[in-house]
Amino acid sequence: MVSCTNPSYYKSHGGPKRTFDLSEHFAIGYASPLSERIEPWKICRAKRGAGDDDAATRDHVQRGVLYCLRIGGFAADPSPRCDADDYLKRGEVPDARAAPIPISLVYPQQRHLSCRVRMGRSIASDKADPRMNDAWSGRRGRSAVAAIDPSLQSAIDAMALPGIAIGHRLISPGDENMLMPDEARALSRVVVKRRRAAGAARIVARQLLFRIGHVGCSLPNAPSGAPVWPAGVVGSLAHDPDVAVAAVATVDRIAALGIDVEPAEELPPDLIDIVATPKERPGADGQLYHGRLLFAAKEAVYKAVYPLDGIFLEHHDVQIDFAERKGTVCNGRVVELRFCHSTHLIAVAFIRAQERS
């Protein structure tokens, strides 16, 4: 139980030690975990006999407390196998954690999500494996669209980059609602499609950050437009029209990190000369998706080196060597590259911590 009060009130009246002690205190109101409405306190003593608690009131409180425990991540079982009454009397939080179980979140498309659903979805997304089956279903039984592409995730896993966590998400309606307030403010004037992609990328990033001990981090944009990462972390976000990706690492292993994703399509011919240097051009002309992957690699390199060098790069300022899996910047900096070929193309650029100069 968490009580918030004015220090002077606490000094004069003390604080409640048990749930039923609240009946002896003044309170403005509380948000019921069962109805979500702001309601007056209804904690009361029993009328059945001296010293006995009212069973109905105790049951209401107990169910509310257990609901809060489930939302807070202490339990996933809809009916935790514990009786909270004794714990409530002692002022303790019961350990009602259930064994891990597969879960799926399915909710209507084009409908407003209540505060409870948004909170539950966010907590579940943070705590669950990022490959969970998070689905959107249509109003009339349309087929659900999974939040991940299994073949793309398999290709990402095959890259196996030590020290770098990478994930993806299929951009879905409602992802724009998962932006935190400071993230949303920076994107308040952009179109919904872009906000949705930014929300999807941050969902992935928060799942990856959770793995390394950063829970519920906000990732607002810096003046440069790049996300601001928690201390001790480097990361990168990207999206194409359908997929959002994120990569994160700790600075003790990776000094710089960039990622880009592109559809598995040929680069338009009129962009080849803009993207490819004369040395790169033969490969761009002769290999499937080579031009598009070249574009993704240069975008990833730019995202990796800009925080270190602070210089803007044109496409011809970066030379990509696919055979060596390296990118060389015009100032001489060399960046390692890894690639993912699947339903989408992903390029990851990074500099190991010991190699930073």
pLDDT of residue 261: 97
Asked if residues 165 and 208 have their Cβ atoms less than 8 Å apart, the reply is yes
pLDDT in tens, 128-155: 544 444 433 333 333 333 488 889 999 9
pLDDT of residue 302: 96
Lowest mean pLDDT among 91-95, 254-258, 335-339: 91-95
Domains in the chain with CATH codes = 7-90 (no CATH), 104-355 (3.90.470.20)
Asked if residues 64 and 71 have their Cβ atoms less than 8 Å apart, the reply is no
Could you give the angle at the alpha carbon of 240 between the alpha carbons of 160 and 122, nearest 5°? 75
Q: Is the pLDDT of residue 251 over 80?
A: yes
pLDDT in tens, 151-182: 999 999 998 788 999 999 999 988 998 899 98
Question: Which secondary structure element, helix H or strand E, spans residue 221, and what is its range?
Answer: none
| Residue pointed to by tokens 């308040």 | 188
Contacts 24+ apart (CB under 8 A), 56-64: 58/85, 58/88, 60/34, 61/19, 61/20, 61/88, 62/88, 63/34, 64/32, 64/33, 64/34
pLDDT of residue 12: 72
Taking CA atoms, 285 is separated from 281, 282, 342, in Å, by 6, 5, 20
Could you give the angle at the alpha carbon of 356 between the alpha carbons of 353 and 357, nearest 5°? 155
* Strand-pair category, 334-341 with 344-352: antiparallel
* Lookup: tokens for 49: 């006999």
Asked if residues 271 and 281 have their Cβ atoms less than 8 Å apart, the reply is no
- Scored b (16 or more CB within 10 A) or e, 230-250 reads eeebbbbbbbbeebbbbbbbb
Confidence of residue 81 (pLDDT cuts 50, 70, 90): very low
Distance between CA atoms of residues 297 and 255, nearest Å: 18
- The residue among 99 and 24 whose pLDDT is bigger is 24
Question: Which secondary structure element, helix H or strand E, spans residue 338, and what is its range?
Answer: strand 334-341
For CA atoms 196, 197, 198, 204, the dihedral sign is: positive
By C-alpha distance, which of 63, 57, 54 is closest to 41?
A: 57
pLDDT in tens, 305-347: 999 999 899 999 999 999 999 999 999 999 999 999 999 999 9
Asked if residues 228 and 248 have their Cβ atoms less than 8 Å apart, the reply is no
Q: Give the mean pLDDT of 247-258.
A: 96
Q: Give the mean pLDDT of 268-295.
A: 83
Distance between CA atoms of residues 336 and 245, nearest Å: 19
Q: Is the pLDDT of residue 55 over 90?
A: no
Mean pLDDT of the chain: 74
Q: Give the mean pLDDT of 83-109.
A: 55
pLDDT in tens, 198-208: 999 999 999 99
Q: Is the pLDDT of residue 66 over 80?
A: no
